[in-house]
Amino acid sequence: MIQPMIEKSLWHPVADERTLGSSPMAVSVLEHPLVLWRDSSGSVHAWTDRCPHRGARLSMGQIAQDRLQCPYHGWQFDTRGQCRLIPASAELKPPAGYCASDHPVAVQHGLIWVQLQAQAEAEVPPFADESSGLRLLNCGPYDVASSAPRVVENFLDMAHFSFVHEGWLGALEHPEIEPYEVQETPRGLLATGCKAWQPRSNLHSTAAAQVEYTYEVTGPYSAFLSKLPEAGSTRLTDWREAIGLFVCPLTAESCRVWFRLAMADHESSDEALASFQHTIFCQDQPVLESQQPKRLPLDPRSELHTSADRLSSAYRRYLRRLNITFGVC
Ligand code: FES
Ligand SMILES: [Fe+2]
């Protein structure tokens, strides 16, 4: 029996909510093209981007009176996906099976999320929300020529700080990674007691400092970290921050990446906060895209490991346990 692909029942981020205006938008996930559109009540719809009549791309069509009209022969579909008008056979009442194929949609963390296959128990990966009192801001998207799991693993990896982020998140004189703890959680993984010596750990750093990290893997393609620098090393008092990583697997070897920043900073501009994160990710991206193979190898014998890599090794075992097949090898 062919097993259904578990990835299809996960929630995937496909677009920044603010970028969906009054026109249909083409996006994709797991090599599956989707059209997003918004009706007059503000609700978002996500359908397979293929007209059931002759296969044209619905995202090339237009929205009128809460219907999406196909660009080819003008068939109109209502908010439930039901065809309501066939202009060339206007007297025909379209039968119930004349439908666009729709998918569950959620809006969370400022992003639009889609499930390709409905599964009620699946949840959008958690992250800090308004109740945290932190400033929330999205950064991205970044289109990355590597697999989603390689991007997640890079996010969890501390041993590259001294080299890729030298002078920022790491220093050449402090490359060593002290032992830290990794444990499984109902949702994924938790790593605690992770420490890094960082010359400039955030936008307001005034001195190099020891920074304590906590990492949580919240799904196969999502994670977040919280970091706390030593007292006195940051211009803002009570500084704390968390960074969420949400990755949309486009193909097995390419993905779209968003970061969600949650910061105890209500004074800096959005641009200043996003620009720090942008600088850091632009340091990561070329190395990430150079990694071969682009899919993450799950066989432990395929690459070499040390104790500093215990979180990434645990992440690979976690993907294996879940039977993830997309973006891995
Ligand atoms: S292909 Fe869409 S209306 Fe014909
Ligand atoms: Fe990095």
**Phi and psi based region of residue 30 (left: phi greater than 0; alpha: psi -120 to 50; beta: remaining):** left
Spacing, Cα 62 to ligand 1 middle (Å) = 13
Question: If DSSP codes are grouped into helix, strand and coil, which group holds residue 277?
Answer: helix
Phi, then psi, of 225 in degrees rounded to 5: -130, 150
58, 100 in Cβ contact below 8 A? yes
**Same domain, residue pair 284 and 187:** yes
Range of the domain at 289: 130-321
Classify residue 328: in a domain, yes or no.
no
Spacing, Cα 282 to ligand 2 middle (Å) = 9
Look at residues 114, 149, 178 and tell me which one is the last residue of a structural domain: 114
Decide whether any atom of ligand 1 lies within 6 Å of the 77 Cβ: no
**Same domain, residue pair 254 and 300:** yes
**Same domain, residue pair 249 and 291:** yes
- pLDDT, position 198: 93
Spacing, Cα 56 to ligand 1 middle (Å) = 6
| pTM reported for the whole predicted model | 0.97
Look at residues 114, 145, 172 and tell me which one is the last residue of a structural domain: 114
Classify residue 232: in a domain, yes or no.
yes
Distance (Å) of CA 302 to CA 203, 298, 307? 38, 8, 16
- pLDDT, position 294: 98
**Same domain, residue pair 222 and 312:** yes
- pLDDT, position 99: 98
Q: For residue 158, what is the domain's CATH number?
A: 3.90.380.10
**Same domain, residue pair 223 and 165:** yes
Spacing, Cα 160 to ligand 2 middle (Å) = 7
Which residue, judged by its Cα, is nearest atom 3 of ligand 1? 73
Classify residue 138: in a domain, yes or no.
yes
Decide whether any atom of ligand 1 lies within 6 Å of the 54 Cβ: yes
Spacing, Cα 113 to ligand 2 middle (Å) = 25
Q: Which distant-in-sequence residues (6+ apart) come within 8 Å of 236 by Cβ?
A: 204, 264, 265, 267
**Same domain, residue pair 254 and 144:** yes
**Same domain, residue pair 191 and 278:** yes
Spacing, Cα 274 to ligand 1 middle (Å) = 42
**Same domain, residue pair 32 and 74:** yes
Ligand minimally distant from the alpha carbon of residue 243:
2
Which residues in the chain show pLDDT less than 50?
none
**Same domain, residue pair 103 and 218:** no
Classify residue 26: in a domain, yes or no.
yes
**Same domain, residue pair 185 and 221:** yes
Beta bridge partners of 251: 254
Which residue, judged by its Cα, is nearest atom 1 of ligand 1? 54
**Same domain, residue pair 283 and 136:** yes
- pLDDT, position 236: 86
Classify residue 326: in a domain, yes or no.
no
- pLDDT, position 237: 83
- pLDDT, position 239: 87
> How many domains in the chain?
2
Decide whether any atom of ligand 1 lies within 6 Å of the 57 Cβ: no
Classify residue 19: in a domain, yes or no.
yes
Ligand minimally distant from the alpha carbon of residue 35:
1
Classify residue 107: in a domain, yes or no.
yes
Look at residues 114, 147, 166 and tell me which one is the last residue of a structural domain: 114
Classify residue 119: in a domain, yes or no.
no
- pLDDT, position 238: 84
Decide whether any atom of ligand 1 lies within 6 Å of the 215 Cβ: no
DSSP E strands, the chain? 12-16, 25-29, 32-38, 44-48, 62-64, 67-69, 76-77, 83-85, 102-103, 105-108, 111-114, 135-144, 181-184, 189-198, 209-219, 222-229, 241-251, 254-263
Q: For residue 51, what is the domain's CATH number?
A: 2.102.10.10
- pLDDT, position 76: 98
Ligand 1 atom closest to the Cα of residue 55 is: 1
**Same domain, residue pair 144 and 191:** yes
Residue-wise pLDDT for 241-287, tens only, equals: 999 999 999 999 999 999 999 999 999 999 999 999 999 999 999 99
Ligand 1 atom closest to the Cα of residue 54 is: 1
